């Protein structure tokens, strides 16, 4: 695995290794839909290029900068690099043609034009500045191609995020899901609520005068800087601008109502400070938990103080303020907030003894088991009123009444494929929700590469996910992945399509997840993501030619000859 994928440039050797019908000797990853070599004299780009055409240069700056040769000096054999709009091409698609007279790109949008230049850059990296004539006609399989990175559990720097954004652009990923709030930390400065970062971004510090959250999962806060830190408003705007320049959308997420310990602790400190100043009104304004609520609960990650009270008006006032503040940051950066991720996963059984919830249930007729859904539906409606789409994790969203949800919903499917993930993905896609595959079996890159004591990571979803397995993923036929998944039982299991995808419904795309409980240093971020992220980018863009056509209701055994090719080169046998 590691040998073959040692460098991104070598990653496309996988096509050959898997016996895939490769486009004629091109070195482009993700694999383009079509590529031909028309023959004829080569083009020499070593003298640089000059940009012509009607695509604004401003939209292409990072992609132009990624070319191995720059804009050449005037009159020194510069080659014409023509980039034109063609509204008939598919969104994000492009046509790239190289011949002896120059390079010509057509695309419907700036993303497509940029992707053409990214393909050109990869081809030049492999072939050198003298290119043989080439035609690439390309468009993505999925419109959603995402990377999720968790800054909450352990913080990762703005510099690291900016590097990742450039890597995402190089491999045609278009959505960055930034996880900024969870039990262990709140990582974005919010106007007017300074405690959120002043307290909530410090899991603990060696700075003795500081108010800290307690450490978690064995972290040694005195030695591990990653436990502390946050993005300032200016950092966040810089990230938004860098992403937008590369046609990458940013989805901010602050997990609620569970997974909210950092916010709760930070706002409790604020409460005490305001009370000490005699400002009771100010203190009560953003109260997140109810002192009289004696409910005992424990979250999946063993927190007993991490759940917002969903029956308090002050909880909604707080969330409103957070969303306003983030929307303002997006506006200031010139990048509108279009999707906001509320988390909504793994809500513990809180509120049973909450007086406020008893009053609310008496008033509304809601049952205790419906309070979590009430929260999600209410926030979703608030977001819809502002023109913002709601996103959330599939378990929480699955508990809502779809009739009470707004039309635009993004769901991240995170049940293991062998444990209900296929039904969950199809069921939520059948509701018309934008369904993103975040499946842990193959897409949680906080899991180790292999079941090997030298590989770090969590093992709850899989004891090893190597790049071949990710590369072998068949997102268009989920049950067919039975052979790919060395599940937690160490036995590949058959998968049945018990909830078929209805005609006209579709999966929106794929996302890689890097949760950061066990990922502290920036170098670990790189290790866990690369090269697996390239394999995921490949699957998000390009349909594997070994994927069997989807047949509603079919089930697949790990040994099924129809998916046998998918097993080639995967490590599950060694694993088992």
Q: For residue 173, what are the contacts with CB-CB under 8 A and spacing of at least 6?
A: 145, 146, 147, 248, 533, 537, 540
Q: Could you give the string, one character per residue 146-175, with x where binding to ligand TNX holds by CB under 6 A and - elsewhere?
A: ------------------------------
Choose between 235 and 517: whose C-beta lies nearer to ligand TNX.
Answer: 517
Of positions 99, 382, 441, 446, contacts ligand TNX by CB under 6 A:
446
Does 186 participate in binding ligand TNX (rule CB under 6 A)? Answer: no
Q: Write out the two tokens for 30.
A: 């993700």
Of 127, 268, 346, 455, which residue is the catalytic one? 346
Choose between 304 and 353: whose C-beta lies nearer to ligand TNX.
Answer: 304
Shortest Cβ 525–ligand TNX spacing (Å): 14
Of positions 515, 530, 546, 572, contacts ligand TNX by CB under 6 A:
515
Shortest Cβ 300–ligand TNX spacing (Å): 7
DSSP string, 277-321: TT-HHHHHHT--S-TT-------TT--SS----TT-HHHHHHHHH
Give CA–CA dist 98/120, Å, rounded. Answer: 9
Shortest Cβ 393–ligand TNX spacing (Å): 4
Shortest Cβ 446–ligand TNX spacing (Å): 5
535 by DSSP, 3-state: which? helix
Choose between 444 and 471: whose C-beta lies nearer to ligand TNX.
Answer: 444
Using CB under 6 A, which residues numbered 396 to 415 contact ligand TNX? 414
Q: How many of the chain's residues bind ligand TNX (CB under 6 A)?
A: 9
Neighbour-count burial of 557, counting CB atoms closer than 10 A to its CB (0-12 exposed, 13-18 middle, 19+ buried): middle
Does 346 participate in binding ligand TNX (rule CB under 6 A)? Answer: yes
Shortest Cβ 529–ligand TNX spacing (Å): 14
Give catalytic status of residue 160 as yes or no.
no
Choose between 229 and 396: whose C-beta lies nearer to ligand TNX.
Answer: 396
Beta strands in 124-268 (DSSP E): 130-131, 134-138, 144-150, 175-182, 185-186, 249-256
Among left, alpha and beta (phi > 0; psi -120 to 50; other), residue 218 is left
Does 303 participate in binding ligand TNX (rule CB under 6 A)? Answer: no
Does 517 participate in binding ligand TNX (rule CB under 6 A)? Answer: yes
- Count other Cβ atoms within 10 Å, centred on residue 472: 26
Shortest Cβ 42–ligand TNX spacing (Å): 49
> In this structure, are strands 43-44 and 130-131 parallel, antiparallel, or unpaired?
antiparallel
Of positions 115, 202, 393, 449, contacts ligand TNX by CB under 6 A:
393
Angle between helix 158-170 and helix 233-245 axes, rounded to 10 deg: 10
Angle between helix 158-170 and helix 110-127 axes, rounded to 10 deg: 80
Choose between 183 and 195: whose C-beta lies nearer to ligand TNX.
Answer: 183
Choose between 247 and 513: whose C-beta lies nearer to ligand TNX.
Answer: 513
Of positions 49, 318, 375, 444, contacts ligand TNX by CB under 6 A:
444
Angle between helix 522-529 and helix 158-170 axes, rounded to 10 deg: 20
358 by DSSP, 3-state: which? helix
HEC states along 439-490? CHHHHECCCCCCCCCCCCCCCCCCCCCCHHHHHHCCCCCHHHHHHHCCCCCC
Shortest Cβ 458–ligand TNX spacing (Å): 5
Shortest Cβ 122–ligand TNX spacing (Å): 31
Asked whether 251 and 175 are in contact (CB, 8 A), the reply is yes
Choose between 165 and 397: whose C-beta lies nearer to ligand TNX.
Answer: 397
Neighbour-count burial of 295, counting CB atoms closer than 10 A to its CB (0-12 exposed, 13-18 middle, 19+ buried): middle
Shortest Cβ 440–ligand TNX spacing (Å): 7
Shortest Cβ 517–ligand TNX spacing (Å): 6
Using CB under 6 A, which residues numbered 10 to 69 contact ligand TNX? none
Give CA–CA dist 452/430, Å, rounded. Answer: 39
Angle between helix 522-529 and helix 532-541 axes, rounded to 10 deg: 50
Taking CA atoms, 27 is separated from 16, 102, 121, in Å, by 11, 19, 10
Taking CA atoms, 360 is separated from 291, 311, 354, in Å, by 17, 7, 10
Does 459 participate in binding ligand TNX (rule CB under 6 A)? Answer: no
Choose between 125 and 488: whose C-beta lies nearer to ligand TNX.
Answer: 488
Choose between 106 and 412: whose C-beta lies nearer to ligand TNX.
Answer: 412
Choose between 144 and 515: whose C-beta lies nearer to ligand TNX.
Answer: 515
Of positions 99, 293, 345, 441, contacts ligand TNX by CB under 6 A:
345
Of 533, 535, 544, 542, whose CA–CA distance to 176 is shortest?
533
Does 458 participate in binding ligand TNX (rule CB under 6 A)? Answer: yes
Catalytic residues: 346
Footprint of ligand TNX on this chain (CB under 6 A)? 345-346, 393, 414, 444, 446, 458, 515, 517
């Amino acid at each position: 695995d590691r040998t073959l994928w040692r460098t991104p440039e070598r990653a496309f050797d996988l096509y050959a290794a898997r016996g895939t019908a490769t486009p004629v000797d091109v070195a482009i990853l993700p694999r383009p839909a079509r590529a031909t070599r028309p023959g004829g004299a080569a083009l020499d780009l070593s003298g640089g290029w000059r940009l012509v055409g009607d695509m604004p240069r401003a939209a292409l700056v990072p992609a132009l900068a990624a070319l191995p040769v720059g804009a050449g000096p005037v009159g020194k054999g510069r080659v014409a690099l023509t980039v034109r709009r063609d509204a008939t091409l598919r969104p994000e698609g492009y046509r790239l043609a190289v011949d002896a007279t120059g390079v010509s790109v057509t695309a419907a949008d700036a993303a497509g034009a940029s992707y053409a230049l990214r393909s050109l850059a990869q081809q030049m990296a492999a072939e050198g500045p003298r290119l043989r004539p080439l035609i690439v006609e390309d468009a993505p399989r999925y419109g959603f191609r995402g990377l999720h990175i968790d800054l909450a559990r352990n913080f990762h720097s703005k510099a690291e995020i900016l590097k990742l954004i450039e890597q995402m652009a190089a491999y045609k990923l278009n959505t960055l899901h930034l996880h900024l709030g969870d039990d262990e930390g709140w990582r974005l400065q919010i106007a007017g609520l300074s405690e959120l970062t002043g307290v909530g971004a410090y899991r603990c510090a060696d700075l003795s005068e500081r108010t800290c959250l307690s450490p978690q999962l064995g972290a040694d806060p005195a030695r591990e800087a990653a436990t502390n830190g946050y993005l300032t408003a200016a950092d966040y705007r810089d990230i938004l601008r860098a992403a937008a320049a590369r046609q990458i959308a940013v989805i901010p997420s602050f997990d609620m109502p569970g997974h909210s310990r950092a916010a709760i602790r930070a706002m409790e400190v604020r409460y005490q400070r305001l009370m000490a100043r005699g400002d009771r009104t100010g203190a009560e304004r953003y109260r997140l938990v109810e002192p009289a609520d004696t409910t005992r609960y424990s979250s999946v990650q063993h927190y007993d103080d991490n759940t917002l009270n969903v029956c308090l008006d002050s909880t909604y006032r707080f969330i409103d303020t957070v969303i306003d503040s983030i929307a303002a940051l997006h506006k200031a950066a010139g990048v509108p907030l279009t999707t906001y991720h509320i988390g909504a996963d793994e809500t513990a059984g809180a509120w049973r003894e909450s007086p406020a919830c008893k009053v609310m249930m008496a008033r509304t007729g809601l049952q205790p088991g419906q309070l979590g859904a009430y929260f999600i539906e209410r926030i979703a409606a608030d977001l819809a009123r502002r023109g913002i789409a709601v996103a959330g994790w599939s378990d929480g969203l699955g508990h809502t009444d779809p009739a009470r949800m707004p039309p635009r919903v993004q769901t991240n499917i995170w049940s293991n494929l062998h444990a209900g993930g296929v039904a969950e993905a199809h069921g939520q896609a059948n509701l018309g929700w934008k369904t993103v595959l975040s499946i842990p079996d193959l897409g949680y890159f906080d899991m180790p590469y292999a079941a090997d004591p030298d590989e770090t990571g969590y093992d709850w979803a899989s004891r090893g996910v190597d790049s071949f397995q990710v590369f072998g993923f068949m997102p268009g036929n989920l049950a067919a992945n039975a052979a790919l998944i060395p599940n937690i039982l160490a036995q590949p299991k058959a998968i049945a399509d018990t909830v078929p995808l209805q005609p006209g419904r579709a999966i929106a795309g794929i996302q890689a997840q890097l949760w950061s409980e066990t990922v502290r240093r920036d170098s670990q971020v790189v290790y866990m993501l690369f090269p697996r992220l390239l394999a995921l980018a490949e699957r998000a863009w390009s349909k594997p030619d070994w994927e069997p056509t989807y047949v509603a209701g079919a089930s697949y055994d790990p040994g099924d000859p129809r998916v046998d090719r998918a097993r080639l080169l995967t490590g599950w046998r060694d694993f088992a």
